[in-house]
Structure 1
């Protein structure tokens, strides 16, 4: 979901990197505080901007552990006289925090039950030995799994399968176009699949929470899927087509996979399918009954059921090991800073002085511009929750100034926050980058082409389907 990625910072040793990051955070924060004008911006907003930028530098450089920086974002708010401690803490512990916690537990159960391996085997047996079809099967598998569990475990599962296949065929890292295309395809597909449902990524829920906090708008589970599922259906084949043309496999066929006949579903697999099916039905029903069937409540009850005697799918020790606490803390810290942007007037000021001119444009052009900016900003802020927190508040204000529904401009940001494949800087893509089958710059060209397709698809679907689901 949002595990903290290791950042490639050249040959700096860890101590030097941490000191450099700490100094950079202080310098960046002070510089912004000095440069921001006093006119039209409250002292609290200026201090918050400095704090926000300082935390972003710390997150990107990992000068401090990710979770520690998140706690600093809370503790520093009363120090900077941005918000009292009880307010900053209350913004930290939102429903998104508990939803992400539940999704880590669900991902653990899917892996422990063996459902992920059964699904992978089923897909690969149908792909056969054609190298291009195998790449497509991996992408479909990663995207499908990522739609219901975190992008990180979905990518890790398929990366392990892909690495085993490449090693079995004797394909060397850095010398095989098939290996390059496959290891790029897996994280790209995981990113794409994560937008199919709100449950596919913590970034989705964070964005929807910010949209609710800033714009007073709730987007239903099925309404999200009305845009997310077509996006996945369009983008997975497009991404596959781009990858196999930019990096055409040097082999036509691969060695056939093991032909073990799968046995019947075991007890854990059956219970997991029953539980996931029930949760999906309730999530979809929450579109019409948001008060009775809150998405976070369904996720929490589903994860609690995993411990019940009738299921017994998860132990407490396993649950604790499956949770990325630094990811949870980061979600909390980002949410608290994002809400503070609204309360101090920083978001409104940012729109007025940087995006205000967009309010007079045609909505189609605004949506396309917002989506494109969200893609490019990943190069500066390669942390998906931070991208969402930085951009959602100002675009909600922009929509309000233009007299348009906030969701019309905010959803392109929330969706496109997952379009992070220009460079392998996120935790998801770094999983396969570490296999050394591709270099960092190998992702740029295909990633840019797929990103263009993403912006076009996002703009068209939001503009056409949005009105049908009440987004305009």
Structure 2
């Protein structure tokens, strides 16, 4: 029988750790000396005309950190700590608050709360129960089962704000289904398309929900702080979810064309077996009831954010709602978690704080603006139609994961750069920043491009070539749909 993920979230089917490839090993070996060299060259070179000294220092620190984030010879949070320390020491920022105050940003609290909520959902088994119930209720044929699995991914994106956590929930259920279908890795297309659409549904659903990944939250922080936006939970949902649904539906049917299900195994006792899995969960536990209530309170407060002022005379912000949800999860008797059980990724918090610090230093010193102006002049973008600039940025952002495998690193590099580009060309930085941010979760082309890819790939049901074929088409369709949405739907909902 196909092996499934055990309760400790480790799969018995996971392959052993692979030896680092030649390129990756070389990047780790030369990352530190290259970063130091780049930093020193930029820091001590003559200040270019039109650039302030603090801007030059900010660029040097940012570029050195960028090399370390990409080559990854040390953990990304250590790079952020180094950058935070260097900003005031070198005089790149005039006050320590710009460097050290970022850990207190409201967006950091939003990320902390998202991790607490994820831990509560995982501990309660609510996500697993929901997935099994939906498949047994609506998945009567292989195609319907595939569609239900996609739908489950979209639903989970609202209350499991971690792409890896959702993959960890979904892969065991997919393996159970495929075992019942008598699907064998490498033979037939059912397992292949199920796992590939799992990768895609996880990524595309993530683009539709602001809290579905830390990268979205970081992007919103940049858009609101540097572009003067007011993007909240419902603004993101209204802008991005329709696009995500359209892209998923188109690519769902394309997947069935690329990997047709003709001649696949019949549906034998599948529903009964899944019902047995559901029965094993027992009655609705007290923890599941608590998680459900907390989730509903959170969603209601997020959904009514624009109306609360008129109704009650005050408004509970997205961040305040998230912190309230975390508090409810952790409160004795009321909640279902202890502090030790809350899987808060502090290394990501530190990385985000450092990313904001160097990003804001670049913005305040006008260093980013100077770089973008040089890029604009070099590429002739100032003579290009704004329409084509929008489209070019969306496509560049979509395929940037081929170079940068970390969503958070890509957000940190690209979103401030695109905001500065929009400002320099007289374009709307909020619309451009939001559209490009919506593409950053499409890390679906190769297994190493995300942990989700690796988890699904480890099942053995699809090859690297299978993933590339499907992903190239999906990314292209995603970029086209998001570009069209930027010129049409964004204007309808008032983002332009």
TM over 0.5: yes
- CA displacement at 1:264 relative to structure 2: 5.5
User: What residue number does 1:230 align with?
Assistant: 242
Give 3-state SS (helix, strand or coil) of 2:488's partner: helix
Whether contact under 8 Å (2:215, 2:408) holds in the other structure is yes
Give, in whole Å, the separation in 1 of the partners of 2:46 and 2:437.
Answer: 27
Give, in whole Å, the separation in 2 of the partners of 1:245 and 1:25.
Answer: 46
User: What residue number does 2:439 align with?
Assistant: 416
Q: Per-residue displacement from partner, 1:7-63 (whole Å, max 9, x unpaired)? A: 987445998774343334335545666899723333433443343333333333431
Give, in whole Å, the separation in 2 of the partners of 1:159 and 1:31.
Answer: 48
Aligned pairs for 1:386-465 (under 5 A) are 386-424=409-447, 425-465=449-489
- TM-score normalized by the length of structure 2: 0.84
Whether contact under 8 Å (2:139, 2:148) holds in the other structure is no
User: What residue number does 2:293 align with?
Assistant: 274
Distance 1:61 1:182, change over 3 A: farther
Of 454-463 and 394-403, more deviation after overlay is shown by 394-403
Alignment counterpart, residue 306 of structure 1, candidates 329, 333, 338: 329
- TM-score normalized by the length of structure 1: 0.88
Whether contact under 8 Å (1:92, 1:336) holds in the other structure is no
User: What residue number does 2:50 align with?
Assistant: 40
Query: Larger Rg: 1 or 2?
Result: 2
Whether contact under 8 Å (1:206, 1:385) holds in the other structure is yes
Q: Indicate yes or no: 2:65 matched with 1:55.
A: yes
Of 455-464 and 292-301, more deviation after overlay is shown by 455-464
Whether contact under 8 Å (2:373, 2:424) holds in the other structure is no
Distance 1:353 1:277, change over 3 A: same
- CA displacement at 1:254 relative to structure 2: 5.2
Which stretches of structure 1, 4 residues or more, deviate above 6 A after TM superposition?
6-9, 13-17, 31-37
User: What residue number does 2:264 align with?
Assistant: 251
Give, in whole Å, the separation in 1 of the partners of 2:414 and 2:465.
Answer: 26
Distance 1:230 1:9, change over 3 A: farther
Alignment: residue pair count: 465
Whether contact under 8 Å (2:239, 2:493) holds in the other structure is no
- CA displacement at 1:450 relative to structure 2: 0.9
Q: Indicate yes or no: 2:303 matched with 1:284.
A: yes
Whether contact under 8 Å (2:47, 2:53) holds in the other structure is no
Alignment counterpart, residue 325 of structure 1, candidates 323, 330, 346: 346
Whether contact under 8 Å (1:75, 1:85) holds in the other structure is no
User: What residue number does 1:336 align with?
Assistant: 357
Q: Per-residue displacement from partner, 1:159-202 (whole Å, max 9, x unpaired)? A: 23223444565645455533332222222211111122322222
Distance 1:55 1:129, change over 3 A: farther
Distance 1:344 1:331, change over 3 A: same
Unaligned 5+ runs, structure 2: 1-15
CA root-mean-square deviation = 3.1
Give, in whole Å, the separation in 2 of the partners of 1:431 and 1:36.
Answer: 48
Alignment counterpart, residue 124 of structure 1, candidates 114, 135, 138: 135
Give 3-state SS (helix, strand or coil) of 2:330's partner: coil
User: What residue number does 1:469 align with?
Assistant: 493
Aligned pairs for 1:177-256 (under 5 A) are 177-249=189-261, 251-253=264-266, 255=268, 256=270
Aligned pairs for 1:127-206 (under 5 A) are 127-128=138-139, 130-148=141-159, 149-167=161-179, 171-175=183-187, 177-206=189-218
